[in-house]
Structure 1
Amino acid sequence: MRFITSIALFALSAAILAFQLPAQADMTAKVVSIGDGDTLTVQQSSRKVTIRLSCIDAPERAQAPWGAESTAKLKGLLPIGQQVRIRKVEKGVSVVMEPDFALRVFQ
């Protein structure tokens, strides 16, 4: 009986949580600058948004020599002016997004 009650409570909790989570929104934007190996700025319409890439912890620019190399690699993957589709994956102070190009890079 306790097992069934536990399963029922878990299912109810999951259903309530699912209704409270915001939908993940996709947006299309243009790359305007690369900050370092895991940060870039995009422009959507008239606003610029600085984003961090999800699941990537690249060296900062000041961390020689790998910082400059990781920045150059991201510039090669996402040239200035390229249109990208990104999806917000975290909610909070910083905007963390997942770029569409990630699927192509690792295939």
Structure 2
Amino acid sequence: MTRNDLDPPTETTLILRLTELAAAVERLASAPSAAELELKCFTPDEAAPYLGKTANWITEAIRDGRIPYTTVGRSPRLTAAHIRWIQANGERVPNRYAKPLSKQPARAAA
């Protein structure tokens, strides 16, 4: 630790921090509510971050009929319910009838 680390912040530093704080509060205030998100129709580009996929993957899955969607005009859109369905149906549970993993035989001590 140097002596400069112990000096009090300058006026410029405080102003920059206050500006960053004001911007963060503004972003929080302008964020959509849960009700607004529930009614929103997402484009493939907007839905991609929620699904952890690319917009191209979503567009191809819509074209192939692998995921649910709705259309607004001629454009495919996904609702919040569609995104939840995709997330829920992507889950794979273990098959209870699958063969158990074979255990490796113990090696004899040499």
TM-score w.r.t. the length of structure 2 is 0.37
Flag the structure with larger Rg.
2
Greater share of strand residues, 1 or 2? 1
TM-score w.r.t. the length of structure 1 is 0.37
> Which gives a bigger RCO, structure 1 or 2 (Cα 8 Å, sep 6+)?
1
